[in-house]
A and B are shown apart, each in its own frame.
Chain A
Amino acid sequence: MHANEADGKTLVAIYRKMALIKHSDDRVIDAMKAGRMQMPYYSARGQECIPAAISVLLDDADYLVTIYRGVHDMLAKGLPAKLLWAELAGKATGSCKGKGGPMHLTYPSKGCMVTTGIVGASLPIACGLALAAQLRGETRVTIANFGDGASNIGAFHESLNLASVWKLPVVFVCQNNRYAEHTSYAKGTSCERIADRAAAYAMPGVRVDGNDPRAVYRVAQTAIARARAGEGPTLIEAMTFRFNGHLIGDMGEYIPKADYAAALAADPYPRFRQQLLDDRHASAAELDAIDAAVREEIDDAEAFAMSSPPPDAREVTRDVYAHDIA
């Protein structure tokens, strides 16, 4: 087996992270539909393989930056479900004290440094985190997540150029879910593959099936090793699909029906489960136990969020600066 092939234990660890992301997402949507929660929620259901497979290659010290569709990235990197749920619910016990919400999740002790609501803005910040590691002589790597739409904004191009010129230890992970809000990839993107844009910045660019955990692991392992070795950045384009539209409530009318149905039918979660069973990496009972444990974790997280107090109104005056405002 090659060094960049995930072993059985790692694959099961990836499955557990996918389960956590999927069950948390299912429950959020259920809570919203039932009226228990209300928020601008950008579901990442369907994209869970990507962070699950990448994050098993990372340490807590490694940095992660993501975007408004980033709950999956944060959960995979280690943001505790309880703190996530309390933040989504806008409670004082949330990771950001209820001041950030789903678009600004942060948890530095696990390397979850910034979540931005601005398309493209994750990349320049990732360059700076990577610069910090480089200046300190650390082997720490920074993962910059963004979508296919972000590859058309200036910050993407400026950041790839800067990272390449400075040989920064960063991995740019484009989660290509084929739609920039409601506009299809082909209508908004001049090239066939975003990975091809890496060539313009003299860095490796690789497109991978983002719904295949083994394939994602393989390319991420190479990119992360390259970054840690001081050889510079890589652009990964992970092909995927978002199951629940841009925002909850988006019915996806702009997506051809057959395409949508085919993408849902190729759900990576049950497919990966079947692969693990077929390859005898885990038994059905073991995987069921993982799902049950994860559901219990989400039960606890939801109960914690619901029973937590709202933030004190005085929080408006705190954290604007180091000192409180009047």
Chain B
Amino acid sequence: MSTTPKTQANLLQSLNQALHDAMEDDPAVIVFGEDIADPEGGGIVKLTHGLSTKFGARVRSTPISEMAFVGAAVGAAVAGFKPVVEIMLMNFTAVCMDQITNHAAKLRFMSGGQTHVPMVIRTMTGSGMQNGGQHSDFLEAWFCHTPGIKVVMPSNPVDGYGLLRSAIDDPDPVLFVEHLPSYWLPGAAPERGSRIPIGKARVHRQGCDVTVIGYSRAMHDIAPVAEKLAADGIACEVIDLRTVSPLDMDTVLTSVKKTGRAVVVHEAVKSFGVGAEVSSRIHEALFRELKAPVERVASADSPVPYAPPLEAAFLYRPADIETAIRKTLA
């Protein structure tokens, strides 16, 4: 790791830096997952590169046994460590769902507060790389539906660093979802030791006509649409949720109170998703103040396909965001 402060970094670098700094600052932080140690390449995208060389036994490559190593993270967390485990791809959470939802999320409650599980599960996902139906899904709604676990989904390197540091500090389990195709996008470099609070959204762009709410990859699609519409005299207020559970409804409702209109955007399939929850909460709180029903922009309710034209048909198009915004203004 370079010690010279950089002004530019991508998400991959900022998350690597966050893990490195957390391990340096706190001996309770341990890291494990498949292929994550340096002899195995330092992770499939080299996100954990350098950690095992520097921190030795605190960083381990595991067998391909998500149930065992996620359960082991639960046990180590109960014993006072702060494990950060990597479930390589988000779809693989399905094979260790029991340890995540029945144990990590519930032990604090079921033990009456005698134990708690300060662990982070990092995982990557996203369509657009022809990875097909079992390597691409955004499954955050599964976990948002489970009390006891927090779900964090950064969209840029600065937030990625600060949120990962906060997730590692957090006394409760955090699922940290990374958008794989944006790992290499350049952005501003994070400051060492910075923290972004979990459960706090960020107003990315101010505007008075319509509130556009997203997180993770959707932020990359929303920003140019908002830019384009500004030229047409439509002022979008863009909110990056950053944490999807717990939702920062204060920030969302403050904005929608001002604009009277809202559009929610995510890559995950539309039905029963985060967009439905955000939309519902806006309607519950602000029904009489809304100028139009809340719109959702999301992917088709199908598995992620393989062929590029199908993959494109699965995902919303940026034009869909514009259409939804214009619909709320019609």
The chain A residues found within 8 Å of chain B, CB to CB, are 63, 65, 94-100, 104, 106-108, 113-114, 116-118, 121, 123-133, 135, 142, 154-155, 158-159, 161-162, 165-166, 318-322, 325
Contacts and interface: CB of A to CB of B under 8 A. Distances in A.
Interface stretch (B113-121, B177-185, B277-285, B307-315): B113-121
B69 interface: yes
Contacts of A113: 75, 78-79, 115
Interface of B: 30, 57-58, 60, 62-63, 65, 67-81, 83, 98-99, 102-103, 107-116, 147-148, 150, 171-172
Residue with the greatest number of chain B CB neighbours at <10 A, chosen from A65, A128, A154, A318: A128
B41 to A, nearest CB: 19
Contacts of A94: 112
A176 B87 CA distance: 33
A135 B107 CA distance: 23
Contact of A158 (B60, B68, B83, B115): B68
B112 A99 contact: yes
Given A127-B68, A130-B75, A159-B71, 20 more contacts: A97-B112, A99-B109, A100-B110, A104-B111, A114-B78, A114-B103, A114-B115, A123-B68, A124-B68, A124-B99, A125-B71, A125-B72, A126-B75, A128-B72, A131-B76, A155-B67, A158-B67, A319-B113, A321-B171, A322-B108
B199 to A, nearest CB: 10
Contacts of A165: 63
A97 B76 CA distance: 24
A132 B76 contact: yes
A162 B63 contact: yes
Secondary structure call for the A interface: mixed
Given A116-B103, A128-B77, A320-B147, A162 B113 contact: no
Nearest to A138: B79
Nearest to B77: A128
Residue with the greatest number of chain A CB neighbours at <10 A, chosen from B57, B67, B147: B67
B76 A118 contact: no
B105 to A, nearest CB: 9
Contacts of B171: 321-322
12 contacts: A106-B115, A125-B99, A127-B72, A129-B75, A130-B75, A131-B81, A162-B62, A162-B68, A319-B108, A319-B113, A320-B147, A321-B172
A108 B102 contact: no
A128 B73 contact: yes
Contacts of A319: 108-109, 111-113
A-B pairs, top 8 by smallest CB distance, nearest first, are A124-B71, A128-B75, A132-B79, A97-B112, A158-B68, A96-B112, A128-B72, A106-B111
Contacts of A142: 75
Contacts of A95: 112, 114
Given A128-B71, A128-B79, A161-B68, A135 B114 contact: no
B98 A114 contact: no
A155 B71 contact: yes
Contact of B114 (A63, A108, A126, A321): A108
Contact of A125 (B74, B147, B148): B74
B171 to A, nearest CB: 4
A99 B110 CA distance: 5
A203 to B, nearest CB: 14
A148 B236 CA distance: 60
B108 A321 contact: yes
Nearest to A109: B114
Contacts of A126: 75
Nearest to B105: A320
Nearest to B75: A128
Contacts of A125: 71-72, 74-75, 78, 99, 103
A321 B99 CA distance: 17
B114 A106 contact: yes
A118 B98 contact: yes
B110 A321 contact: no
B111 A159 contact: no
Contacts of A63: 79
Nearest to A159: B68
Nearest to A65: B75
B79 A129 contact: yes
B110 A106 contact: yes
B71 A96 contact: no
Nearest to A104: B110
A126 B70 CA distance: 11
Contact of B99 (A107, A121, A135, A322): A121
A162 B148 contact: no
Contacts of A159: 67-68, 71
Nearest to A153: B67
Contact of A318 (B75, B103, B113, B148): B113
A124 B80 CA distance: 16
Contacts of B103: 114, 116, 118, 121, 125
A278 to B, nearest CB: 42
